[in-house]
Amino acid sequence: LRHLSSVDSIVREVAAESFGASIRPLGQLAGGYILASDEEGLLLIDQRAAHERILFDRYRAQEAARSAESQHLLMPETFDLTPAQAAVFDQVVGELESYGFGMMRLSGRTVAIRSVPADLPAGEARSMLSEILNTLDAGRRTEARAVLREQIALALASRAAIKLRVTLAREKMSWLIESLLKTSSPTTCPHGGPTVLRLSARDIEKNFHHS
């Protein structure tokens, strides 16, 4: 029992430069984390954070290349903006369209949504638009366009990322890891949190008193 207190916290954030070599998925934990190994030890990858990073980078790249993919709704959905949302809408409609939203302002504060960005649940078009407009409303109307575009990508990625608990087949785990490694910042989600934690073999040995 005396030894319990001497065990350090040994799960650590992973430095970008030490992430990427020989990663092998081992399995899944609690439906939300991929357990993997690399040359240094054990890795815990947060599925949702990793997927957010992948989607964020993809949306940013498509927006920059003006090649955003849209999915057309079978029936255009109408949406009534609040006065605050309507004010934001007029300022950001161009940015939203560059991400694949197809929208038309009807009479008053009513908007028709004809298409939404690819990868997003089409059935949630209204709530998605509402959420994005609310996010952008937080006193940031005068932000530079570049900041606005980044905020939209962040909102889209958060929305489209896989939900916390979902069972992944082995191939899907590998796909997620490989895709994550190709992003601009594989060790952080677009909100700045870690996508991966490591339990190193050295720390494990040390805490089992093998050193």
Query: Interface with Zn ion by CB under 5 A: which range of 22-30, 32-40, 61-69, 186-194?
Result: 186-194
CB under 5 A: which stretch of 86-94, 139-147, 148-156, 189-197 binds Zn ion? 189-197
- Closer residue to Zn ion in complex, CB, 81/161: 161
**Out of 163, 191, 202, 208, which residue is the one contacting Zn ion (CB under 5 A)?**
191
Residues near 42 by beta carbon (within 8 Å), at least 6 away in sequence: 35, 36, 198, 199, 200, 201, 204
Report the amino acid identity of residue 63: E
Tell me the closest approach of the beta carbon of residue 53 to Zn ion, in angstroms: 8
Q: Is 46 in the site for Zn ion (CB under 5 A)?
A: no
Cα-to-chain-centroid distance, residue 17: 21
Which member of 46, 52, 95, 203 binds Zn ion (CB under 5 A)? Answer: 52
Nearest to 176 by CA among 43, 40, 30, 13: 43
List the one residue from 189, 196, 199, 203 that touches Zn ion (CB under 5 A).
Answer: 189
| Contact residues for Zn ion, defined by CB under 5 A | 52, 189, 191
